[in-house]
Amino acid sequence: MSLGLRPLARVLPRRALFPLARPGEHGLVGGSFGAGNYRKCVQRWTLPGGAALSMGDGRTPLLLVLLLRLWSLCFAYHSDPADGTTGHLKREHTLVKPYQSAGSSERALWDIIGNTMVTSQQVRLTPDQQSKQGAIWNRVPCGLVDWELQVQFKVHGEGRRNLNGDGLALWYTRDQLKLGPVFGNAQNFSGMGIFIDTYYNEGKKTDLQYPYVSVMVNNGTLHYNHERDGRRTSLGGCPIAIRNVKHDTFISIKYAMQQVTIKVDAEGRHYWKDCVEIRNIQLPTGYHFGASATTGDLSDNHDIIAIKVYELSVERSEEERFQDWSNVIPSAELILEPEEDEDAEEKKKHQDEYEEKIWAIKFFCLVFFSMLAVVVLAVGCAVFIIRRQEENRKRLY
C-alpha cells in the first residue's frame, strides 16, 4: 500500500471537502452528510494544508470500501447530535469585507459604537491605545434555535508579551449597544459571552495560560469580576495563542441541543481544534450577536475580519419543533464559589491596605516627633550654653 497525496474528492462529494480546502472559509455549508461530521472526519485524514491520504491507482473498489468503512466509523464515533446535520449561512447575521452592512444607515445590519472603526480590511473594535472600548452589534435578532457562530479575528499590538490587554468578547445577548467594563460591554448582561482574555489580571494567583477563551452565561444577576478574570463565573475554556501571529484566528461557537461547543483555528492551518464543550445551557431565541473589546493601561488592536452565522439542523422531537424558545431564561450548570469567599478576600485586601496606611502614619509620627524632640533639645542646650556663657562673662567684669 502506497501513500500518495490525492484529494478525498474522488470518493467524497466535492461540496463536503470545500470547507477545509478554502482558506478562510471554514466549515461553510454542509451537504447531506452534515458539515460538522464531515469536517471531523476529513480532519482525521488530512495533512496540514488540506492534502489527503489515499492509496494509489488501480485499486478504486478496495479504496472505496476502505474509505466508506472509515467514513462509517467516523460517523459512529462522532454521533453527537450537537454537531448538527446541516449548516446554512444566514446573511442577515453575516459581516464580511468590505463591511457595507455596517454603519448608521437604515439599511445597515450592524451598528457600531464607542471607538470602533470600520475600514475596508477590518472592523477595528479598539486601536492599540490606552482606555478605548468599542463594539459591533447585529441589529437583526436571531430566530434560530440551533446555530453556529464563526468569527475570524486578529489581535496585535506594539506592546511586549504580557504587556498588552485586555481582549475581546463575542456575544449572544438580549441587550446591545451598551458600553461597559466587560470587555467593552455592560455588566449583568443577559445571554452568553465568550471572552478572549489576553491579560491575566489575577497575576501569579492563576495557573491558566493566557490568552484564554472562557464562556459565561448570565441571566442578568451575575457580575463579571474583571480583577479575577471572571473565574468565579466561568463555565470553562481553553488557552489560545493568538497575539501578534501572521495569520488570522478563527473561532467556532456552536449552540445545538442545549450544548455549547467551541473550536479554534489559531495556528493558521485551516484545522479546527477542540476547545471546550459545555452541556445543559439554555439560551432563548431572539437575542443579538455582537463583538466588543476594551483596552486599559495596556492595549492592542482588536480586529474583526468576518462574522458568520449558520443555521444548524438537528433532530428534534415534534414537541420541540413547535416550542416557543423566545421565553427561555438563560441558564447553565454553574457551581459558584461562595460569594463570602470573594468578599472575605476583598475585605482582607482592604484590611491589609488599611493597616499599611496606619503603620505608615505611625511611622511618620514617630519620625516627626523624634526629630522635633531632637530640635527642641538642641535649642534648649544652645540656650542653656549661651546663658552660661553670658553669666560667666558678667562675673569676669
> Residue numbers of the site for Ca ion (CB under 5 A)?
197, 199, 201, 229
User: By C-beta, is 229 or 265 nearer to Ca ion?
Assistant: 229
Q: Where are the alpha helices (DSSP H) in 101-175?
A: none
CB of 295 to Ca ion, least distance (A): 12
Q: With CA atoms as reference, report the closest residue to 172 among 186, 188, 190.
A: 190
How many Cβ atoms are within 10 Å of 340's Cβ, its own excluded? 9
- Residue 385's identity, in one-letter code, is I
CA gap 36, 27 in Å, rounded:
7
CB of 212 to Ca ion, least distance (A): 8
User: By C-beta, is 162 or 351 nearer to Ca ion?
Assistant: 162
CB of 135 to Ca ion, least distance (A): 17
Q: Are 324 and 209 a contacting pair, CB within 8 Å?
A: no
How far apart, in Å, do the first and last CA atoms of the chain sit? Answer: 129
User: By C-beta, is 84 or 167 nearer to Ca ion?
Assistant: 167
CB of 261 to Ca ion, least distance (A): 24
Q: Are 230 and 208 a contacting pair, CB within 8 Å?
A: no
Query: Largest Cα–Cα distance in the chain?
Result: 137
Strands 259-265, 273-278: parallel, antiparallel or unpaired by DSSP?
antiparallel
User: By C-beta, is 36 or 165 nearer to Ca ion?
Assistant: 165
Q: Are 183 and 195 a contacting pair, CB within 8 Å?
A: yes
CA gap 202, 206 in Å, rounded:
6
Q: Are 50 and 20 a contacting pair, CB within 8 Å?
A: yes
CA gap 93, 310 in Å, rounded:
9
CA gap 265, 172 in Å, rounded:
21
CB of 297 to Ca ion, least distance (A): 12
CB of 197 to Ca ion, least distance (A): 4
User: By C-beta, is 111 or 229 nearer to Ca ion?
Assistant: 229
User: By C-beta, is 197 or 303 nearer to Ca ion?
Assistant: 197
CB of 166 to Ca ion, least distance (A): 6
User: By C-beta, is 101 or 206 nearer to Ca ion?
Assistant: 206
